[in-house]
Amino acid sequence: MPDTLISVDLSRPATENENLHNRWHPDIPIAVWVEPGADFLVETVDWTGGAIKNDDSADDIRDVDLSTVHYLSGPIGVKGAEPGDLLVVDILDAGPLKGHEWGFNGFFAKKNGGGFLTDHFPLAQKSVWNFDGMFTRSRHIPGVSFGGLIHPGLIGTLPSKAMLETWNARELGLIATNPTRVPPLANPPFAKTAHLGRLKGEAKEKVAAEGARTVPPREHGGNCDIKDLSRGSKIYFPVYVPGAGLSMGDMHFSQGDGEITFCGAIEMFGAWLHIKVELIKEGMSKYGIKNPIFKPSPITPNYKDYLIFEGISVDEEGKQYYLDANVAYRQACLNAIEYLKKFGYSGAQAYSILGTAPVQGHFSGVVDIPNSCATLWIPTEIFDFDINPSAAGPTKYLDGSIDMPIAQDV
């Protein structure tokens, strides 16, 4: 049995765990070192560090302090890794921590982070998903169940000093274009809630002031939220610092392409990963790598019968955009939600299904001026009833008696 290199205690605050951190910085101390070729276990807390409960209120979603996320396990140092190498990571397996077989999905309030459809769903809502072995189901969203494609929403290597400076410069530049926007354009470094492993005192203060926030995906991987980085996949990460410094967290039991609900996928309350690491020396230049590349798992859900929704870059008010894939994908999502409502789902439930189920989102056409065309693929097999169109029209399978908890803004 492989060793557990990083453990978590879900009954204690994440900030007390010296093997967790919630910022990116080259000076975060390596938590543990391994040899290339090693395989080992890593435990993780949920991205909020335990702020969200398995209950029927969305108040915790509304009130979450987003400056604290994401609590990551690591960094793990790989001996011999040098800048310019590729760190090859096999996710050999992953699962929930025993006794914690559940996760949550939610939409943040528009005032506190929002989401892809925040104009349509401006209030905090939550759904809780129980794991039945390989499958999941939510007491807040009847009639749907699916196999999990467990993956880290966030996994990446430590940035170099130069890389960190690039990140901070470009993101602060963007924020400066509209610094009071709600939700904000990006998140600047924020020292107060930084947690940096075992770093203390002055050293911590310096890193806390500079450390990049963990929300966006960047050149090192990070919060890519790619549902296909699932157990069985193999990822090739750029290395920027000696030892690489691999950290991971934000474990998802399942997610739809885009993680449109933002909070987030099905966020696992506690999870473990079985990881193997190897190196390709000078792999970045050998293969011309700027961002991570990866290979999907050979073991994935075989959902095959999809109902596919198109969206174009004309928004719901009829406004024409120029080849804007975001607008197109948003329309495809809204079209799917309207469709699912015909079977009895509330809009929030349909939105949550798109954020959690193994839904695909494709760039279908990106050049046909002025309309980008995006497609959203819903596997029909995940529903307890038939959602295909027919001459008879849809049947309302759900009576509306069950809905997702909602929290009014305060």
- Binding positions for a copy of itself, 289-348, rule CB under 8 A: 289-312, 314, 318-326, 329, 331-332, 335, 338-339, 341-342
Please select the residue that binds a copy of itself; options are 79, 217, 347, 402, rule is CB under 8 A: 217
Q: How far is the CB of 131 from a copy of itself (least distance, A)?
A: 9
Helices assigned H by DSSP within 186-231: 201-210
Rg of the chain over CA atoms, in angstroms?
21
Q: Whose CA is closest to 22, among 66, 61, 78, 86?
A: 66
CA distance 365 to 374: 7
Whole-angstrom CA distances from 83 to 163, 242, 283 are 12, 6, 10
The answer, yes or no, to whether the previous bond of 183 is cis (omega within 30 of 0) is yes
Q: Contact between 262 and a copy of itself (CB under 8 A)?
A: yes
Show the tokens assigned to 234. 């193999």
Residue 131 vs 204, nearer CB to a copy of itself: 131
Choosing from 53, 79, 206, 362, the residue that interacts with a copy of itself (CB under 8 A) is: 362
- The reply to whether 388 sits near a copy of itself by the rule CB under 8 A is yes
Residue 336 φ/ψ, nearest 5 degrees? -65, -40
CB of 353 to a copy of itself, least distance (A): 15
- Bridge partner list, 20: 73
Which of the stretches 27-35, 57-65, 240-248, 373-381 binds a copy of itself when contact is defined by CB under 8 A?
373-381
Residues numbered 139 to 198 that lie near a copy of itself (CB under 8 A) are 147, 166, 170-171, 173-174, 183-187
Interatomic CA distance for residues 192 and 74, integer angstroms: 20
Listed residue (29, 34, 30) closest to 3, CA to CA:
34
Which residues have CB under 8 Å from 105's CB, separation 6+? Answer: 126, 127, 129, 138, 261, 263, 264, 265, 266, 267, 352, 355, 356
Cβ closer to a copy of itself: 50 or 199?
A: 50
Distance CA 196, CA 17 (A): 10
Residues 221-250 that bind a copy of itself (CB under 8 A): 221, 223-228, 231-232, 236
Class of residue 37 by CB neighbours under 10 A (exposed 0-12, middle 13-18, buried 19+): exposed
Q: Does 372 bind a copy of itself (CB under 8 A)?
A: yes
Contact assessment for residue 125 and residue 405, using Cβ atoms and an 8 Å cutoff: yes
Residue 241 or 332: the one with the smaller Cβ distance to a copy of itself is 332
The stretch among 73-81, 201-209, 388-396, 397-405 that binds a copy of itself (CB under 8 A) is 388-396
Among 75, 242, 249, 283, binds a copy of itself (CB under 8 A): 283
Given a contact cutoff of 8 angstroms between Cβ atoms, the answer to whether 134 and 255 are in contact is no
Return the number of the residue (53 or 343) whose C-beta is nearest a copy of itself.
343
Residue with tokens 């993680």: 259
Tokens for 164, please give them. Answer: 């960190």
The enclosing H or E element of 252 equals: strand 244-252
Q: Is 363 in the site for a copy of itself (CB under 8 A)?
A: yes
Nearest distance from residue 310's CB to a copy of itself, in Å? 4
Q: Is 78 within 8 Å of 34 (Cβ atoms)?
A: yes
Residue number with CB closer to a copy of itself (83 or 296): 296
Tell me the window of 42-50, 71-79, 192-200, 381-389 that interacts with a copy of itself (CB under 8 A). Answer: 381-389
Task: Work out which of 65, 370, 396, 400 binds a copy of itself, going by CB under 8 A.
Answer: 370
Q: Which is nearer to a copy of itself, 9 or 13 (CB)?
A: 9
Site string for a copy of itself, 108-147 (x = CB under 8 A): -------xx---------------xxxx-----------x
H helix runs in 114-222, sequence order = 161-176, 201-210
Minimum Å gap between C-beta 210 and a copy of itself is 18
Q: How far is the CB of 100 from a copy of itself (least distance, A)?
A: 8
